[in-house]
Amino acid sequence: MTECLKLVDHSVGELLINAADIQVESKQFLERNKDVLETIDSFRTAQAENMQHYRSLILAFAGAKDKKMDFFGLPVPSDFGTSEPEI
């Protein structure tokens, strides 16, 4: 995420400067900033693909490649939810 923010920092700054010009109509503002948003989306997509690649390598190395993942992208224990909690 930090790398993505570093890459789009300039684009976000440009977007904010453009947003401050309240004399520009909404349609013109959106047209003007379409390229900025597409650039941000491009960086975001590339970063997500890169993260997925490294995640796959780490999971394969850890032997968790085919395991079900939780919300945070961590392997779910195989006995999750099937046994009583230990006291």
Q: What is the pLDDT of residue 25?
A: 94
Report if pTM > 0.75.
no
Separation between Cα atoms, residue 28 and residue 33, nearest integer Å: 9
Q: What is the pLDDT of residue 29?
A: 92
Q: What is the pLDDT of residue 27?
A: 93
**Nearest 5°: CA angle at 73, between 67 and 74?**
60
Spell out the per-residue pLDDT of the chain, length 87, in tens. Answer: 677 677 778 888 888 998 999 999 999 999 888 988 888 888 888 888 888 888 778 777 777 666 677 777 676 776 655 555 555
